[in-house]
Amino acid sequence: MAKSTAQVLVYEMPELKPHDNATSLSLVEVGGYQVVVRTENWKDSKLCAYIPPDNTVDTTRPEFKFLDKYGTQKRERIRACKLQGKVSFGLLVPAPADSKVGDDVTELLGVEHYEPQIRGEGLTRGDNEEDIHPVYGNFYKYDVEALRRYKNAFKERELVNLREKIHGANSRYVFHDNKMYVGSRTFWKKYDEKSGWWIAFANTPSIQQFCMANPGYCLYGEIYGQVQDLKYGVGPERVRFAAFDIVDTSGRYLNVTEFEDKCKEFGVPVAPLIANYFPFNFEQIEKMAECDSLLCPGQLMEGIVVKSMEEGWDQDCGRKILKIVSSRYLMS
């Protein structure tokens, strides 16, 4: 899959560009993101470290203490915000002493990827994943990197698949040796009726139908509803499922049309389709990500997942599947 999205890299300080609405502020582009900075603080800097949105920092450290306005919080989530009318994604901080361009300073700065509290996440975790799922090694954690960071992974006008990114929790299902396995992104789950992953499984019979008809295939998707802050109109105590990928017994991801055909055959619900064979254009897709949800009209869309129509690989980001999260969501 792809690399960890929690990476905090050191960059050569980019060019300061004028902010249209504030003479004391400047715009910089770093790691594919726009950041608004105070000009005076950065005009003589040579290196910087960039912390993307959806990471957390320790506000007891001197470099992040300014984020704890009330003196009550030890960790602060980095988001996007608007500063004098310009969207600023993430946070720019001085590079640690003796670091150089390209260094990963995530641990050095104590930055951690933001992990929201998911209902039932800790209820069914196994002590040893290999005991729960003998073929665990074939089905690894599912990560999708940021399109803003790796926008050059796709060529201009390359044909891609666009699906709505649902805000919930990663899930995976596989039938192996006459046993059904249910998992989150990180852990395979023992049965528990209070677990959102098992609730979604019970609410979606087509998951089991697909898995039993295709033993050893891993069905990946998102559980949503009463899971995180975007509810998609799902009522109390309800959790639903939408698929977005399938891996076969050899570890091969099915291409877009194979995935769609398999899901259609068994009636497996899928993440809303925005477009197939869409000619890739970053600026256009970025604007599309700011629209309302297709799954729940009237609610904001978290973002869009962009995937090559035929499975592809990029030397920098890995598998050619990337996400763009809307600024509306990052500022919410």
Q: Which of 288, 271, 269, 270 is nearest to 279 (CA)?
A: 288
Q: Are strands 321-325 and 145-146 parallel, antiparallel or unpaired?
A: parallel
Dihedral of CA 117/121/125/130: which sign? negative
253 vs 310: CA distance, rounded Å: 10
pLDDT at 279: 98
pLDDT of residue 124 exceeding 70, the answer is no
Q: Cβ neighbours of residue 228 under 8 Å, at least 6 residues apart?
A: 116, 118, 167, 168, 169
Instruction: Evaluate whether 294 touches 274 at the Cβ level (below 8 Å).
Output: yes
Angle in degrees, CA 10, 13, 14, rounded to 5: 120
Q: What pLDDT, in 10s, does the model give residues 90-103?
A: 999 999 999 999 99
Q: Is 76 exposed, middle or buried (0-12, 13-18, 19+ CB in 10 A)?
A: middle
Is the CATH number 3.30.70.580 carried by domain 129-330?
Answer: no
Averaged pLDDT score across all residues of the chain: 90
187 vs 209: CA distance, rounded Å: 22
- Side-chain-side CA neighbours of 126 within 13 Å: the count stands at 18
Taking residues 179-207, report their average pLDDT.
Answer: 90
- Kindly state the tokens that stand for 253: 């991801």
**The residue type at 172:** R
pLDDT of residue 107 exceeding 90, the answer is yes
Q: What pLDDT, in 10s, does the model give residues 68-91?
A: 887 777 899 999 999 999 999 999
Taking residues 111-119, report their average pLDDT.
Answer: 78
pLDDT at 3: 41
Q: What pLDDT, in 10s, does the model give residues 297-326?
A: 999 999 999 999 999 999 999 999 999 999
Report domain extents, the chain. 9-113, 129-330
Q: What pLDDT, in 10s, does the model give residues 267-307?
A: 999 999 999 999 999 999 999 999 999 999 999 999 999 99
Q: First CA to last CA across the chain, in angstroms?
A: 29
Taking residues 4-16, report their average pLDDT.
Answer: 86
Q: Which residue did the predictor score with more confidence, 180 or 119?
A: 180
pLDDT band at 221 (very low <50, low <70, confident <90, very high): very high
pLDDT at 70: 79
- SS3 string, the chain, reads CCCCCCCCEEEECCCCEECCCCCCEEEEEECCEEEEEEHHHHCCCCEEEEECCCEEEECCCHHHHHHCCCCCCCEEECCEEEECCEEEECEEEECCCCCCCCCECCCCCCCEECCCCCCCCCCCECCCHHHHCCCHHHCCCCCCEECCCCHHHCCCCCEEEEEEECCCEEEEEEEECCEEEEEECCCEECCCCCCHHHHHHHHCHHHHHHHHHCCCCEEEEEEEECCCCCCCCCCCCCEEEEEEEEECCCCCECCHHHHHHHHHHHCCCECCEEEEEEECCHHHHHHHCCCECCCCCCCECCEEEEEECCCCEECCCEECEEEEECHHHHCC
